[in-house]
Structure 1
Amino acid sequence: MNILEQSDEQIRELADIIWSDMVTGANNKDWELYSKYMLEESADEQARAAVEHQWQYSKMFTSLTQEREYLGVLRQDDHVLVLWKQWSTKVDGDFLVMLYLKTIAEEVKVIGSWIR
């Protein structure tokens, strides 16, 4: 399945599943669940250490709500960005989430994520 050939709604449905797992993984400090959809080479020990550092020092990164507001899909050369407004149970304010998804060997993989 090439993600670029999917409708925005199909992309949203898939991205919701992926982001929900990443949120649960972050909130529970569960690296295996958090990195489940990442490329194997992107889920290395250095990446794990960086994420675990954020889990240790960022209240927001371990208190994300499953509630979020879908903002849209942006299609780029070989990947898509899915955007949401996200909230935390411990940090006030709105956060922007961008999840970068790409089809690699017939599987949709997370090639990046950003929350600010």
Structure 2
Amino acid sequence: MNIIQKTDDELLEIAIPMWDDLIKYSNKGQYGKFIRNFSYNLLLGLNEVEVGKQFAKSELTRSLSPDYDVLGFIRRGEHVSCLFRVRSTKKEGEWLGRMVLGYEKGEVKIFAASVF
């Protein structure tokens, strides 16, 4: 099945727990748990040292609020971009959170994730 065929409600059931985990483990700086739902290709492209530095130095990645808004989904090809309005518990303002989901070997995996 192609993930773009799922309804918004079906996507929410998948995306929200995954996004919640990304926020939780980013805030805790738990790299191993943070990447557990990443696709194989995303894992290959990550530099563990650089990601570790980001966890250690970035106030934003360690202070993401668990209260966020789902903005919607963008379907393209074999992936869905899930968009979120994200806030920090320590910094003023709002950020755009993006998580790209798709299937890998029959399982939904994260193909990209960012907050900017």
TM-score (norm 2): 0.91
* Residue segments in structure 1 that go unaligned for 5+ positions in a row: none
Q: Is 1:103–2:110 an aligned residue pair?
A: no
- 1:61-72 aligned at under 5 Å gives the runs 61-72=61-72
Secondary structure of residue in 2 paired with 1:65: coil
Cα RMSD after superposing both structures: 1.6
Structure 1 window deviating more from structure 2 (39-48 vs 78-87): it is: 39-48
Secondary structure of residue in 2 paired with 1:83: strand
Give the drift of 1:50: 2.2
Please tell me whether the aligned partners of residues 20 and 66 of structure 1 are also in contact (alpha carbons under 8 angstroms): yes
TM-score (norm 1): 0.91
Partner of 2:5: 5
- 1:21-36 aligned at under 5 Å gives the runs 21-36=21-36
Partner of 1:94: 94
Q: Residue type of the partner of 2:53?
A: H
How many percent identity over aligned positions?
Answer: 25
Q: Check 1:45–1:8 CA distance in 2 against 1; reply closer, same or farther (3 A cut).
A: closer
Give the drift of 1:44: 4.7
Mapped to 2, the partners of 1:16 and 1:46 lie a distance apart of: 23
Structure 1 window deviating more from structure 2 (47-56 vs 72-81): it is: 47-56
Aligned length: 116
Mapped to 2, the partners of 1:114 and 1:61 lie a distance apart of: 10
Please tell me whether the aligned partners of residues 12 and 73 of structure 1 are also in contact (alpha carbons under 8 angstroms): no
